[in-house]
């Protein structure tokens, strides 16, 4: 099998070749250059590649406001050098929290770090494909922009993300 594509998650920028603020055409061209991406599948504002492991969401602007990635054998996603799907969930949480202001308490459901607009979704052993299900690993990690944060606040009735 070919080596996985290395995708760095960079807060306020994007994941791998996908950048926050890109148009659909720009995103298609960027991801389409990756071997094994497959055909883009869409559901309203959500667009999926790599068997739905790499996705992006469009905001009201028609540009990417959120990018998420799940574990996939063709993708290696890193946060400041750490493989996000080979790092136990509490440890990854702590690494991200160390780059934030304020206090952040680990919880295994979902979490949005507001300074970096980095999201974590559902930590569980079932997502630990690299450690044979022996430790909780996040099911998805993502990055968003200010438009995404505003959308989350609207959904939560004005409550701050977290």
Long-range CB contacts (within 8 A, 24+) of 34-41 = 34/5, 35/2, 35/5, 35/74, 36/2, 36/5, 36/74
Residue 8 CB coordination number (10 Å):
14
Domain ranges of the chain: 5-155
Q: Which two tokens stand for residue 137?
A: 């690993």
- Cβ-based burial of 79 (10 A; exposed 0-12, middle 13-18, buried ≥19): buried
| pLDDT, one tens digit for every residue, the chain (162 residues) | 689 999 999 999 999 999 999 999 999 999 988 999 987 778 778 899 999 999 999 999 999 999 999 999 999 999 999 999 999 999 999 999 999 999 999 999 999 999 999 999 999 999 999 999 999 999 999 999 999 998 888 887 766 566
The pLDDT score that the predictor gives to residue 161 is: 60
**Torsions phi, psi for 43 (to 5 deg):** -140, 100
SS3 readout for the chain: CCCCEEEEEECCCEECCEECCCCHHHHHHHHHCCCCCCCCEEECCEEEECCCCEEEEECCCCCEEEEEECCECCEEEEECCEECCCCCHHHHHHHHHCCCCCCCCCCCCEEEECCCCEEEEEEEHHHCCCCCCCCCEEEEEEEECHHHHHHHHHHCCCCCCC
The pLDDT score that the predictor gives to residue 158 is: 65
| 5-155 is a CATH 2.60.460 domain | yes
């Amino acid at each position: 099998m070919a080596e996985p594509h290395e995708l760095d998650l960079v807060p306020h920028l994007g994941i791998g070749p996908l950048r926050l603020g890109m148009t659909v055409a720009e995103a298609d061209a960027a991801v389409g250059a990756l071997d094994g991406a497959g055909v883009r599948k869409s559901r309203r504002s959500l667009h999926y590649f790599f068997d739905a492991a790499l996705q992006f969401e469009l905001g009201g602007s028609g540009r990417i406001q959120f990018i998420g990635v799940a574990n996939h054998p063709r993708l290696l996603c890193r946060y400041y050098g750490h493989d996000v799907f080979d790092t136990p969930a509490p440890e990854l949480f702590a690494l991200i929290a160390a780059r934030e202001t304020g206090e952040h308490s680990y919880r295994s459901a979902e979490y949005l770090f507001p300074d970096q607009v980095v999201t974590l979704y559902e930590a569980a052993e079932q997502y630990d494909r690299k450690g044979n299900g022996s430790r909780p690993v996040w099911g998805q990690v993502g990055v968003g922009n200010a438009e995404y944060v505003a959308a989350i606040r609207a959904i939560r009735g004005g409550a701050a993300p977290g």
